[in-house]
Amino acid sequence: MLLIAVILYIAIAFALQTVRVDGSSMVGTLQNQDLLLASKISYDFGGNPARGDIVILIPPLDPSQDFIKRVIGLPGDVLKIDGDHNPTRVLIKPGGKGAFQVLNEPYLPEPWTTLKYCCAPNGIATLTAPQALTIPAGEYFVMGDNRNFSSDSRVFGLVPRKNILAKAILRIWPLDHFGGLGAGPTIDPLPSSALAIPALGIAALEAWRWRRRRMRNPVAARSAPPAPNPLD
């Protein structure tokens, strides 16, 4: 029995680890000082990080510490962050194919107003305009859910696969928030612009009708009669 217990302990220690969240970059999903359980073997048997996974990683610019972020872009994706749209949105061509689609992220805690244009070829945010990035093989684009307060791929660039250490799977503390980490993002088609043309046509038609009615009955078109002259 003692031998079995030791083997189980070693197996669990090898497969799982506890992770303490330090900071507010994942607020919306995780809070500062949350204690998580992470799987160290989720990606060791042929699997790779999936879009939406919350992962523990080594940031490329600071190997002395671990970060916790959400996987947004996968190898082969074409990714663009459009800060000209309100709210800011992530556009993705999954696997680099087809038209851009919108990443739907209901877990974001507030409107996103910083580092909202992306990406340079290394994944770092640009200053004034969205640029499409094709993510190379073996690289991942990650962001914190609290976009206005997160140091992530927009700051340190793409993350190599070897730098992704584990997948967060369960919150174990505080007890009143014990459980899973919520649903990840979905990908939705961009709204069609086909409806814009009929809408413009209807607006032009209504404007033409209004001008025609005004020409036929100019008195009725006034919003109010002219004010009397106080000197009369």
Tell me the C-alpha distance between 152 and 72, whole Å. 11
| Annotated catalytic residue within 42, 69, 80, 167 | 69
Find the Cα–Cα–Cα–Cα dihedral 133, 135, 139, 145, rounded to 10°: 60
Spatial distance between the Cα atoms of 148 and 45, rounded to a whole number of angstroms? 35
* Contact by Cβ (8 Å): 18, 172: yes
Whether 25 is a known active-site residue: answer yes
Identity of residue 143: M
SS3 at position 128: coil
Neighbours of 124 (CB within 10 A): 16
* 97 among known catalytic residues: no
Residue 119, strand partner residues: none
d(CA 137, CA 141) in angstroms, rounded, equals: 12
Among 66, 72, 41, residue whose Cα is nearest residue 54:
72
Catalytic residues: 25, 69
